[in-house]
Amino acid sequence: MQGTGMADQIHAGMVRDGLSPEEARSRIWLIDRAGLVTDDMEGLPDYQQAYARPVSEVANWTREHGAVGLFETVRRARPTILIGTSSDHGAFVRRIVEAMSEGVERPIVLPLSNPTERIEAMPADVIAWSKGRALVATGIPISPFDYDGTRFIIGQGNNSLLYPGLGLGVIVSGASRVTDGMLLAAARAVADQADPTAPGAALLPPVENLRASSATVAVAVARQAQADGVATADYDNLIQAVQDAMWEPAYPEVDEA
């Protein structure tokens, strides 16, 4: 369900950027424990049905144990982004990363499962297999490492980068509900705090700067709530309103005498 929820948000983002719902869905490929999700699967959950590929579309694809696997899907579909939420340690093997790298100059590989023993691939391996070209973020903390003379900083896709700021933006704006646009604004506000263009740079801001990061996210969410017509509060200075709403952990000195 978690992976399909991500697919829903990616789909919503592509639609907001101008694709039709059908065009957006055609760019999403789901893999579960039974392989590529196709419309001939029995008992397919309703939340996966929208993304099920027509079985006729993959009729000539190679199957393993009766299913179209991840490698064949990557080889044929030539995706630009690979997201792992399977908790299947080692699912992103070398040939999969190499196949992605053949189809795109800067493949985005996000092995997000945690803890470490569940991650789909270790970032150092992904970087090496892609010859330093992959853009990588994980769901676990990863220490910086060197590859071919470049220091790689791996951003952690931690929920705390988004949800505190999202909640704060909802509170400040008095939003009557959380829209897809507000979720997308929060995600973009997080991403915009990092510049991944430099070699080895992180895709996400550091968790250590969470307080400042959350304030930035909250402002973006509150502005989007106003744009979406769900805000019930308005401010002349939204940035100051967010700062005023943030709790300050200030403690008085205690006389030990």
Residue 214: inside a domain, yes or no?
yes
Give the range of the structural domain holding residue 181, as residue numbers without chain letter: 159-247
Q: Return all residues near 4 (Cβ < 8 A) that are at least 6 apart.
A: 30, 45, 47, 48, 51
State pLDDT tens for residues 17-52. Answer: 999 999 999 999 999 988 999 999 988 989 999 999
What pLDDT does residue 31 have? 94
State pLDDT tens for residues 61-102. Answer: 999 888 999 999 999 999 999 999 999 999 999 999 999 999
What pLDDT does residue 256 have? 74
Q: Take residue 62 and report the two structure tokens written for it.
A: 């190679």
Residue 216: inside a domain, yes or no?
yes
The answer to whether the beta carbons of residues 186 and 193 sit under 8 Å apart is: no
Q: Which of 1-15, 50-64, 211-225 has the lowest mean pLDDT?
A: 1-15
Residue 148: inside a domain, yes or no?
no
Instruction: Give the pLDDT mean for 117-142.
Output: 96
State pLDDT tens for residues 169-211. Answer: 999 999 999 998 999 999 999 999 999 999 999 999 998 889 9
| SS3 label, residue 64 | strand
* CB half-sphere exposure, 116, CA atoms < 13 A: 5
Q: Output 222 or 5, whichever has higher pLDDT.
A: 222
Is 18 exposed, middle or buried, given 0-12, 13-18 or 19+ CB atoms closer than 10 A?
Answer: exposed
What pLDDT does residue 79 have? 95
Instruction: Give the pLDDT mean for 103-123.
Output: 94
**DSSP 8-state code for residue 174:** T
Instruction: Give the pLDDT mean for 138-155.
Output: 96
Question: Is the pLDDT at 158 greater than 80, yes or no?
Answer: yes
Residue 192: inside a domain, yes or no?
yes
Neighbours of 128 (CB within 10 A): 16
What pLDDT does residue 159 have? 87
How far apart (Å, rounded) are the C-alpha atoms in residues 13 and 29?
A: 16
Q: What is the domain count for the chain?
A: 1
Q: Is the pTM of this model over 0.85?
A: yes
What pLDDT does residue 257 have? 62
| SS3 label, residue 16 | helix
Question: Is the pLDDT at 59 greater than 80, yes or no?
Answer: yes
Residue 166: inside a domain, yes or no?
yes
What value, to the nearest 5°, has the Cα angle with vertex 28 and ends 27 and 31?
A: 145
Question: Is the pLDDT at 1 greater than 60, yes or no?
Answer: no
Question: Is the pLDDT at 225 greater than 90, yes or no?
Answer: yes
Smallest CA-to-CA distance from 126 within 140, 138, 117 is with: 138
What pLDDT does residue 250 have? 82
How does residue 254 score in pLDDT terms, banded at 50, 70 and 90?
Answer: confident
**CB crowding 193-227: b at 16 or more within 10 Å, else e:** bbebeeebebbbbeeeebeebbbbbbbbbbbbbbe
* Residue labelled with tokens 């952690």: 156
Residue 170: inside a domain, yes or no?
yes
Instruction: Give the pLDDT mean for 214-229.
Output: 97
Residue 213: inside a domain, yes or no?
yes
Residue 237: inside a domain, yes or no?
yes
